[in-house]
Structure 1
Amino acid sequence: MTAAPASPAKAPPSLYDRIGGADGVRLVVDRFYDLMEHAPEYAELRAMHDADLLPVRVSLTQFLAAWLGGPRDWFVARPGACIMSLHREMPITRETARQWVHAMSRALAENRVEPALGAQMQQSFLRMAHAMMLRGE
């Protein structure tokens, strides 16, 4: 008697799938920018951005989708640019970094991103924000 062939192990869902795919990423990004635009506690962060937030909404949605393992269609107008180099000229302070992480954490929680995934993303965002802060602060 021969044993039945083992079925291949199913790969765990990607972070992109766990957040809800394109719709899940878009909801988080839209909530993040809505908070930044309308909540007074993010006024300093909002002041760093252009009046029209649509281009950065699209860009962050594409960036996060790719970062989470989804489609890699994030487009940057400057070839070879990365997320860090795009923020190099921005005066990111400890306070604006804190506002960014706080607003993004709220967006994750308010969209009911699973707690383990939200915590994992928040830790990454904290590291990114810290790396983007102005030197010497």
Structure 2
Amino acid sequence: MTAAPAPAETPPSLYDRIGGSDGVRLVVDRFYDLMEHEPRYAPLRAMHEADLMPTRVSLTQFLTAWLGGPRDWFVARPGACIMSMHRAMPITRDTAAQWVHAMSRALVENRVEPALGAQMQQSFLRMANAMIPRVEEAAA
């Protein structure tokens, strides 16, 4: 009689691969530090409130859930859509590119594993481009 094969291990979630809540928080904090202190991100910074703490907390919770961790962001905002929440912001092609660039730097500087960082960067690029109002795209 042969032994039954061992059950396949479940691969770690993206949330686990980034380092859980600490990993997400480090990426978010670096992103907002870059946005706040580097002149190249000034137009992006100008789109945000003076106090970035609520936004830091919100993005940390959103990314935590998006990566497969606790879903606190969605529980606190039933039916919310991150894309719709940004529709009122004056997002341009330049500010969308600044957001992706700063997030990409935050991933690299926090040594997020390259494959995960590339996957996240591609998703961020799609999200950022989808947030550019269609009026600007038509004018380009």
Q: Aligned partners of 1:65, 1:78: CA distance in 2, in Å?
A: 14
What are the superposed Cα offsets for residues 70-119 of structure 1, whole Å, 9 maximum, x if unpaired?
A: 11011587642210111010000000000000000000000000001000
Bigger proportion of residues as helix: 2
The residue number in structure 2 matching 1:38 is: 37
Distance 1:92 1:15, change over 3 A: same
Distance 1:62 1:77, change over 3 A: closer
What are the superposed Cα offsets for residues 38-95 of structure 1, whole Å, 9 maximum, x if unpaired?
A: 0100000000000000001000000001000111011587642210111010000000
- Kindly report the root-mean-square deviation, in angstroms, between the aligned alpha carbons of the 2 structures: 1.3
For these two proteins, the number of residue pairs brought into alignment is 136
Q: Aligned partners of 1:89, 1:55: CA distance in 2, in Å?
A: 18
List 4+ stretches of structure 1 deviating above 6 A.
Answer: none
The residue number in structure 2 matching 1:131 is: 130
The alignment partner of 1:125 has SS state of helix
Q: Aligned partners of 1:71, 1:79: CA distance in 2, in Å?
A: 14
Shifted more, 51-60 versus 67-76: the winner is 67-76
Shifted more, 119-128 versus 3-12: the winner is 3-12
Q: Aligned partners of 2:14, 2:123: CA distance in 1, in Å?
A: 13
Q: Aligned partners of 2:17, 2:25: CA distance in 1, in Å?
A: 13
Write the letter of the residue equivalent to 2:133: L
Q: Aligned partners of 2:130, 2:106: CA distance in 1, in Å?
A: 21
Q: Aligned partners of 2:39, 2:6: CA distance in 1, in Å?
A: 54
The residue number in structure 2 matching 1:57 is: 56
Q: Aligned partners of 1:128, 1:58: CA distance in 2, in Å?
A: 19
Q: Aligned partners of 1:68, 1:78: CA distance in 2, in Å?
A: 17
| TM-score with structure 2 setting the length | 0.93
Q: Aligned partners of 1:94, 1:77: CA distance in 2, in Å?
A: 30
Identity %: 82
Q: Is the 8 A contact 1:59 1:75 kept in 2?
A: no
Q: Aligned partners of 2:130, 2:46: CA distance in 1, in Å?
A: 20
Distance 1:48 1:76, change over 3 A: farther
The residue number in structure 1 matching 2:93 is: 94
Q: Aligned partners of 2:76, 2:23: CA distance in 1, in Å?
A: 25
